[in-house]
Amino acid sequence: MPKLKTKRSAVKRFRMTGTGKIKAAKAGRRHNLSLGKNRKRKNRLGKALILERRDEKQGPTHAASTRAGGGPPGSPRWWTRREAMRVKRGFKARRRRNRVLKLAKGFRGRRHGTYKRAIEAVERAMMQSARGRRVRRRDFRSLWIVRINAAARMNGLSYSRLIAGLKKANIALDRKVLADIAIADPLAFAAIAKRAAA
């Protein structure tokens, strides 16, 4: 169940007129997102409501949700003139959006700040990252093979002859370890290549 608007935030929109009537202002006219509102909507929000006696008896929350002159409850006009009560979604919606925007940090354009654009970009990035984790393994294996091949040719062997010789000699070194040895200790790699060539 969504959280309803608090009493204090509802009460501050009500004022008593000189004749004893209650005047209700509509919320949202001076909100910081007012740039997105058109002129017709701003004018409609700017018009205050003079509440009826039946509204005053039922309290400010009911009064704020009913337009003046809407007709008695149950009549067709009462339903057509009735405004929906504002329901605040609490921190849940904000937390969900913030999770997405945190993942979109650093994206270009509106994709790092606008939720609608960010969620599309994040979903696409998630799919690409799943593929990228598999591609990364292929890329590293290719890099290790290039390094092993270069070191093997310095010792008079090709890559394929080196790998075949290691299998025959029962030397169980994978390509990652061989590539590290070729860079860090060329003398040790030369000894391994000599055993593979024998």
- Return the amino acid letter for 155: N
**Cross-strand partners of 28:** none
57-96 pLDDT tens trace: 555 544 444 444 445 554 444 434 445 677 777 888 889 9
From 28, 60, 88, give the residue that closes a domain. 88
pLDDT at 30 over 80: no
Residue 179: inside a domain:
yes
Residue 193: inside a domain:
yes
My answer on whether 79 and 11 are in the same domain is yes
My answer on whether 70 and 142 are in the same domain is no
117-176 pLDDT tens trace: 999 999 999 999 999 999 999 999 999 999 999 999 999 999 999 999 999 999 999 999
What global pTM score does this model have? 0.50
Q: Where does the pLDDT of residue 194 fall: very low under 50, low under 70, confident under 90, or very high at 90 and above? A: very high
Per-residue pLDDT, 64: 44
Q: Which domain holds residue 189?
A: 138-197
From 46, 70, 88, give the residue that closes a domain. 88
The structural domain count of the chain equals 2
Please write down the HEC assignment for all residues of the chain. CCEECCHHHHHCCEEECCCCCEEECCCCCCCCCHHHCCHHHHHHHHCCEECCHHHHHHCHHHHHCECCCCCCCCCHHHHHHECCCCEECHHHHHHHHHHHHHHCCCCCHHHHCCHHHHHHHHHHHHHHHHHHHHHHHHHHHHHHHHHHHHHHHHCCCCHHHHHHHHHHCCCCCCHHHHHHHHHHCHHHHHHHHHHHHC
Residue 113: inside a domain:
no
Q: Where does the pLDDT of residue 56 fall: very low under 50, low under 70, confident under 90, or very high at 90 and above? A: very low
Residue 130: inside a domain:
no
Residue 54: inside a domain:
yes
Residue 93: inside a domain:
no
Residue 95: inside a domain:
no
Higher pLDDT, 99 or 36: 99
CATH code, domain carrying 170: 1.10.1900.20
Per-residue pLDDT, 164: 94
Residue 32: inside a domain:
yes
